[in-house]
Amino acid sequence: MHLHRSAAGLVVQAPAKLNLFFEVLGKRADGYHEIETLVYPIDLYDTLYVTEDPSGRVRFGCHWARRGPEVDSLGDVPEGPENLAVRAVELLRQQAGVSRGIAMRLVKRIPSAAGLGGGSSDAAAALVAASTLWNLGWSDWQLGRLGAELGSDVPLFLVRGPAVCRGRGEEVQPVSGLGLLHFVVVRPPAGLSTAAVYRACRPARRARPLAPLVEALLRGDLKRGGRLLFNRLEPAAETLSPWVRRLRQELEEADCVGHRMTGSGSCHYGLCRHARHARRAARRLLAKGFGFAFAVRGSR
């Protein structure tokens, strides 16, 4: 996440994320699932523009950076009070005892219902921007605890780098030294419901270990790292959408080092050897009509 000041106010770049590893350990008493995941932020960003609103209200507007009918395949984004960025700011106002207003304009690039964490990243960006705008001085840790009330993925975006997340996702441990990785990311024409994917998922009796993947990436062993990419939710998603199998086959043919679905889908990613490989794979997928494809790398 990157925040800077402009002549008009604040601008925050909110990154998407990929799950390079995702294990479901079991269902908790509170209805959530216990997970262990390795999250890697990428340079596909939503942009949040923020200014003070003298009326004392929270104002919000949103539009896609892309234009045209193909935007429909990027998913729906609520523009009212149910939007996660609006809820985040309202919660911060309540907890901090603030009555000042804020105007937010969100330019979307991260597809929704895709497993890329766009809504959670936008909420984290809104928390950082509002705290800065109102001079609250809240730390990222404080904002992360507040964000966890809105969604399990919100705290990870306040770490601003790769991380291992546990619990229901809100326990975040930064990981350094993974290197700058390159990917092709493809969002098929249809999304997936997180709740439906979790309902169809069956946790393994014996959890897969995360450590071998982290160790391979720390050593720069891309080939072994590609083999160790993992997502327990992928078989469940495959029962709900034909795109899962089709994208897996396409990424195999694109000669990716490894590939997986991210989060609860429907986006898939392929780990590439370098930026040229990622761009070539993205052009191939776009030419074959597989929704939107992006060549990305780690968010700096």
- Note if the pTM is more than 0.75: yes
Contacts of 38 (CB under 8 A, 6+ apart): 19, 20, 21, 162, 163, 164, 175, 210, 213, 214
- % of the chain exceeding 90 in pLDDT: 82
Q: What's the confidence (pLDDT) of residue 70?
A: 59
pLDDT at 144 over 60: yes
Q: What's the confidence (pLDDT) of residue 160?
A: 84
- The arithmetic mean of pLDDT across residues 66-90, rounded, is 78
The pLDDT tens digits of the residues spanning 206-234 come to: 999 999 999 999 999 999 999 999 999 99
- % of the chain exceeding 70 in pLDDT: 97
pLDDT at 100 over 90: yes
Q: What's the confidence (pLDDT) of residue 190?
A: 83
**Strands 2-5 and 182-187, sheet pairing:** unpaired
Q: Characterize 87-104 residue by residue with b for buried, 16 or more Cβ atoms within 10 angstroms of its Cβ, and e for exposed.
A: bbbebbbeebebebbbbb
pLDDT at 69 over 70: no
56 vs 73: which has the higher pLDDT = 56
Domains of the chain with bracketed CATH: 2-174 (3.30.230.10), 182-297 (3.30.70.890)
Residue found by looking up tokens 């390795």 in the block: 38
Query: What is the Cα Rg of the chain in Å?
Result: 19
Q: What's the confidence (pLDDT) of residue 22?
A: 98
Confidence at 19, pLDDT banded by 50, 70, 90:
very high
Neighbours of 276 (CB within 10 A): 11
CA distances from 92 to 86, 139, 140, 238 (A): 10, 13, 13, 38
The pLDDT tens digits of the residues spanning 174-213 come to: 999 999 999 999 998 888 899 999 999 999 889 999 999 9
> Would you name the residues annotated as active-site residues?
17, 153
68 vs 128: which has the higher pLDDT = 128
**Residues written for the chain:** 300
Q: Determine contact, residues 75/192, Cβ cutoff 8 Å.
A: no
CA–CA distance, 188 with 285 (Å, rounded to integer): 10
Closest CA to 264 of 171, 195, 208, 167: 195
Confidence at 28, pLDDT banded by 50, 70, 90:
confident
**Strands 230-231 and 10-27, sheet pairing:** parallel
Closest CA to 17 of 143, 149, 155: 155
Confidence at 77, pLDDT banded by 50, 70, 90:
confident
CA–CA distance, 43 with 300 (Å, rounded to integer): 8
CA distances from 195 to 117, 191, 237 (A): 15, 12, 11
Average pLDDT, the chain: 93
pLDDT at 6 over 90: no
**Strands 163-166 and 101-108, sheet pairing:** unpaired
80 vs 281: which has the higher pLDDT = 281
Q: Determine contact, residues 128/5, Cβ cutoff 8 Å.
A: no
Handedness of CA 86, 141, 39, 286 (dihedral sign): positive
The pLDDT tens digits of the residues spanning 238-264 come to: 999 999 999 999 999 999 999 999 999
pLDDT at 84 over 80: yes
Phi, psi of 53 (to 5 degrees): -110, 115
CA–CA distance, 269 with 271 (Å, rounded to integer): 7
